[in-house]
């Protein structure tokens, strides 16, 4: 049963530390998304890639966040330096085709920044 | 700008009751898709349905049905004979812009609790 895999599932860190979240999309999916979920803002799209190329990262705070796809099996989201307001659940999702809207989500990485 | 409003934040029902989750949207696009996703306690969002704005016929899948009304910009979701396993957060979504159907704007979600 193909799934999107995210690591770590939980991360507690102190303000100022670097945080890296990783995602393995479903094999064969050419589009990868990073979403952030908070109680206040709900689900927000941070960035997405098609065929490993960044298509849109307008939802991402550029000064501290960066997203990359080093290869087709790995997407990373990095926060440096982390701040308490970054505490959230970060979801990776992948899609077989870039334009269907049918996204397959991972279980999320719950980040707590103290 | 695209907007999805899910006015109900929490709904609690007893098993076997029918329940309707409301979704109202705003878009300037003439053609568009609408979506529902389910987020069970395990956390990952699960795709339920995609609906094209051309097609206003109701959609039924087992105990789930969707009522799309373009005139009122609503895309409501009904669960018939609810079960405890239906307990989850349900999100309605709309593409952020025409032609980018995978760049979704989600509503705030409705938490459904089904009690035995």
- A-chain residues within 8 Å CB-CB of B109? 42-43
The answer to whether A25 faces chain B, any CB pair under 8 Å, is no
Q: Is the dihedral of CA B21, B24, B25, B30 positive or negative?
A: positive
**What pLDDT score was predicted for residue B54?**
85
Say which range, A27-31, B22-26, B88-92, B100-104, has the weakest mean pLDDT: B100-104
Return the residue in B53, B102, B110, B111 with the most chain A beta carbons within 10 A, the one to mutate for interface testing: B102
Res A16 pLDDT > 90: yes
Confidence of residue B30 (pLDDT cuts 50, 70, 90): confident
**What pLDDT score was predicted for residue A98?**
62
> Per the CB < 8 Å rule, is A101 touching B35?
yes
Residue of B nearest to A59 (CA): B103
Nearest to A48 among B93, B103, B105 (CB): B103
């Amino acid at each position: 049963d193909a799934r999107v895999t995210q690591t770590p599932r939980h991360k507690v860190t102190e303000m100022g530390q670097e945080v890296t979240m990783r995602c393995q999309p479903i094999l064969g999916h050419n589009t990868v998304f990073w979403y952030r979920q908070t109680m206040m803002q709900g689900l927000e799209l941070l960035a997405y890639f098609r065929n490993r190329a960044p298509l849109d990262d307008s939802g991402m705070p550029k000064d501290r966040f960066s997203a990359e796809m080093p290869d087709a099996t790995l997407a990373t989201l990095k926060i440096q330096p982390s701040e308490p307001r970054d505490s959230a659940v970060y979801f990776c999702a992948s899609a077989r085709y870039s334009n269907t809207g049918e996204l397959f989500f991972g279980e999320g990485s719950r980040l707590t920044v103290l | 700008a695209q907007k999805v409003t899910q006015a109900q934040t929490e709904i609690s029902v007893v098993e076997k009751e029918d329940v309707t989750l409301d979704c109202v949207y705003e878009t300037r696009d003439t053609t568009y898709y609408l979506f529902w996703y389910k987020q069970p306690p395990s956390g990952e969002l699960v795709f339920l349905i995609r609906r094209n704005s051309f097609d206003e016929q109701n959609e039924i899948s087992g105990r789930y049905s969707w009522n799309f009304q373009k005139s009122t910009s609503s895309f409501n979701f009904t669960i018939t004979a609810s079960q405890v396993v239906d307990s989850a957060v349900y999100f309605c979504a709309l593409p952020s812009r025409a032609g980018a159907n995978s760049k979704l704007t989600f509503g705030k979600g409705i938490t459904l609790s089904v009690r035995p």
